[in-house]
Structure 1
Amino acid sequence: MSCPSSTLVMWAAAWLAGACSPDDVIDAVQAWAPMHLVGAGDAEAAVQWDLPWPDPEDAGPVLLLRAVRRLTTEDPEASVALVLPAAGDVRGLPVGTTFAGAAIESGQGVLVGAAGRPGLGLVPTIEGPDVLRWTVFPIQALPGESDQIGLGEAEFELRRAVREAAEALASMQGGYARDDTDPRTRIAETLADLAHHGQPRSTPVRALRIFDTADQVAAILTVAGDSSGRAQSAAGAAAREETLRPLWSAVRRARLAAVSASVQAALPRP
C-alpha cells in the first residue's frame, strides 16, 4: 500500500461491505504511525461532526471511522474514494475547496460521500516522527467520478513505465557520489517498507499485481529522482524532473485504478 489514504479507503470499503471488522481497519491504518491525531478543518465541521478543533486529539483512526460510518449510514449511496493529486494533475478534487489545497500539498486524500451531495474530505499529513495528523474538511458538493483507466490499461502503462524508469535510473547512476548507497539496495529498502501494509482479502488479484508493479516503479523513480550526493545544474535537474514526471503520472493512474476496482469488488452484489 502506497500511502495512508489508500489504506483507509480500501479497508474502510471492506469494512462497510461487512468483509472485515473496525479493528481490522484501525490496525491497517495505524501501521503507518503509532499516533494519529484527528481534528476538524474548521469550527463548522467540528460542531457538525463532533470533532476536536482547533487542536487535534490523539484519538487514533476511531474518529475517522465514526465520521465515515455516520455519513454512509445517512446516505446509502455514499462511498469512499482516493485522490492522489500532484502539480498539474488535480483530477477528482472538488475545485476551490480548502480540502483540495490540503490534498495537493499532501499528495493524497480521501473523499467520503456521494457525487453532487455534501460530504467529507480527509487529509493525512506528517506531524512529527511517528505521528500522522488527519484533518477532516466539509465539502458542500462532492465531484463526480473522475475519468479513470481500467486495470488492463493500467497494467499496460506500468509495463512501459518499468522499462522507462529502469532506463532513467541507469542514465542517472553516473551522478551518484561514491559514498551513496547502491541504488538496488535503496530500491529494495523502499519496497520492504511498503510491504508492511497489506490489502483486504476482497482485493482482486489483478489489482494486487498492479499495486506490486506500481510500487516497484515508484521505488525506482524515487531513487532515480533523488539528487542527494550529486552536483547538477538547474537545467540538469529540470531535465530529470521532466523525464520522471510522466512516469509518476502513470504510477498514480494505476494506483487509482487498482484502488477503485478494489472498492467496487468489496461492495455487496445486488
Structure 2
Amino acid sequence: MTLALWAASWMRGAAAPDHVIEALAQWAPMHLAVAAAEPVAVTTGLAWPQDTVGAGPVALLGMLRRLGDGLRLEVVLPVAGDVGAVAHGTAFAAAATATGEGLVLHRGIEGTGACAGCVGLVPVHDAADVLRWVAYDAGCRGVSSAAPAVGESRHALREAVRRATDLLGGQDRVGAAGAQAQRAVAAHITRAGLHVLPPGTPQRAAETFHSATTVAAILRTAEASDAGSPHSATATSTRDASLTELAGAVRTARLAATAHAVAELQGCGVPPAGSAGEAAPARASRPERRH
C-alpha cells in the first residue's frame, strides 16, 4: 500500500522521488526490483533473470514512467479461496496469494474503460532488511475492477473493533495478562505508525487505515495469546470463524481506503464503485503518520 500511495503522489508531481524512497525504506533498507520472465522484463525495463544491478527503488519509479501515462494503481490483498480482483490461474495470482498482497499497474486503453498489458508487482521479503519486488504479467481481463466503498468499510470496522477486542477473552480484564495484551497491541500499532501517508491523503482514507491497523493489531495479539491455550472443538471453530471474518473486514477496509486515496492522489476523483459522498482530501503540510 505504501508504494501505491506514494507512487500515485509522485506520478502527479506532488512528491519527490526521494520521498517515495524514504517511505519504502521504512519497510526495508534495501529494495530490489526484478522481472519474473523475459517478456515482462521487456515491458517494464526491469532486470531479468538474476541481474539486480540498478534494480532498487529508482528502477521501480523508472518502470512507472516507462509504462506510460494513464496508469491506474490497484492494491490487491488475495488470500487462499478469495483472490478478489486478481486473475485466476496466473503466476501473479499464485505469487500475490502466497505473500497476501500485490500491486496491479493497469495500463488503460485511451477512450475506453478497459486496460491491456498490465503489470503485477509482488513484494517478497528475501531477508529482514531486503525486500524484492517481482513484476509479472497481471493477466487482466481488460476491465478494471470496482473498489469497495470506504463508508461501508468504516462502518463494518467500527463493529469489528468491538468484536476483535472480545477475542482477547478475559486477558484484557486480568492483571498481568491484560497488561501484556495491551502492550502487544500498542507495539503493533506503533510499528505500523512508522509508515507515513503522503500529504494530500483523504482524511476518510487515513482514518480507515488507522481503524484497520487497530483491528489487525488486536487480531494478531489474540492469535498469539491463544497459542497453546486449551479450547473445546466448538469454541476453537467459533473463534477461528470470527478471526477469519474480522481479517476479511480489515482487508476490505484497506482495499477501499487505498483505492480512494490513490484515486485522489492521482487526481482522478473517487474510484469506481459505491464511493459517493467521500470526504475532501485532508490538508497536510507534511507526511501524516499511518497508525
TM-score (norm 2): 0.81
Deviation readout 1:17-45 (Å, 9 max, x if unpaired): 11111111111112110111221111222
65, 75, 78: which one pairs with 1:69?
Answer: 65
Q: Residue 263 and residue 179 in structure 1: after superposition, are their counterparts in 2 closer, same or farther (change >3 A)?
A: closer
Letter in 1 for 2:181: P
Counterparts of 1:55-204 in structure 2, within 5 Å, are 55=50, 57=52, 59-71=55-67, 73=68, 76-113=69-106, 114=108, 115-141=114-140, 144-170=143-169, 173=171, 182-204=180-202
SS at match of 2:211: helix
19, 25, 29: which one pairs with 2:24?
Answer: 29
Deviation readout 1:104-127 (Å, 9 max, x if unpaired): 000000000234311111000111
1:42 corresponds in structure 2 to 37
Structure 2: gaps spanning 5 or more residues: 109-113, 270-291
Mapped pair 1:207 → 2:205: yes
SS at match of 1:25: helix
1:180–1:229 CA contact under 8 A, matched in 2: no
Q: Which ranges of 4 or more aligned residues in structure 1 deviate by more than 4 Å?
A: 178-181
Q: Residue 36 and residue 232 in structure 1: after superposition, are their counterparts in 2 closer, same or farther (change >3 A)?
A: farther
154-163 vs 235-244, which moves further: 235-244
SS at match of 2:133: strand
Mapped pair 1:9 → 2:7: no
SS at match of 1:117: coil
Q: Residue 37 and residue 267 in structure 1: after superposition, are their counterparts in 2 closer, same or farther (change >3 A)?
A: closer
Q: Determine what percentage of the aligned residue pairs are the same residue.
A: 38
The alpha carbon displacement at 1:78 in A equals 2.1
SS at match of 1:122: strand
TM-score (norm 1): 0.87
Structure 1: gaps spanning 5 or more residues: 1-5
1:30–1:60 CA contact under 8 A, matched in 2: no
Counterparts of 1:182-261 in structure 2, within 5 Å, are 182-226=180-224, 230-232=228-230, 235=233, 237-261=236-260
Q: Residue 254 and residue 46 in structure 1: after superposition, are their counterparts in 2 closer, same or farther (change >3 A)?
A: same
1:40–1:56 CA contact under 8 A, matched in 2: no
1:81–1:260 CA contact under 8 A, matched in 2: yes
SS at match of 1:187: helix
- Could you tell me how far apart the structure 1 residues matched to 2:42 and 2:264 are? 34
- Could you tell me how far apart the structure 2 residues matched to 1:179 and 1:215 are? 22
- Could you tell me how far apart the structure 2 residues matched to 1:132 and 1:31 are? 11
- Could you tell me how far apart the structure 1 residues matched to 2:210 and 2:126 are? 28
Deviation readout 1:183-218 (Å, 9 max, x if unpaired): 110111010100000101110111111111110000
SS at match of 1:144: coil
Q: Residue 234 and residue 129 in structure 1: after superposition, are their counterparts in 2 closer, same or farther (change >3 A)?
A: farther
The alpha carbon displacement at 1:139 in A equals 3.0
- Could you tell me how far apart the structure 2 residues matched to 1:124 and 1:234 are? 38
The alpha carbon displacement at 1:140 in A equals 4.5
Q: Residue 38 and residue 24 in structure 1: after superposition, are their counterparts in 2 closer, same or farther (change >3 A)?
A: same
- Could you tell me how far apart the structure 1 residues matched to 2:141 and 2:71 are? 10
- Could you tell me how far apart the structure 1 residues matched to 2:265 and 2:45 are? 28
SS at match of 1:182: helix
Q: Residue 56 and residue 188 in structure 1: after superposition, are their counterparts in 2 closer, same or farther (change >3 A)?
A: farther
- Could you tell me how far apart the structure 2 residues matched to 1:232 and 1:8 are? 41
- RMSD (CA atoms): 2.5
- Could you tell me how far apart the structure 2 residues matched to 1:228 and 1:157 are? 24
Letter in 1 for 2:83: V
Number of corresponding residues: 259
- Could you tell me how far apart the structure 1 residues matched to 2:207 and 2:267 are? 23
Q: Residue 185 and residue 80 in structure 1: after superposition, are their counterparts in 2 closer, same or farther (change >3 A)?
A: same
- Could you tell me how far apart the structure 1 residues matched to 2:75 and 2:150 are? 16
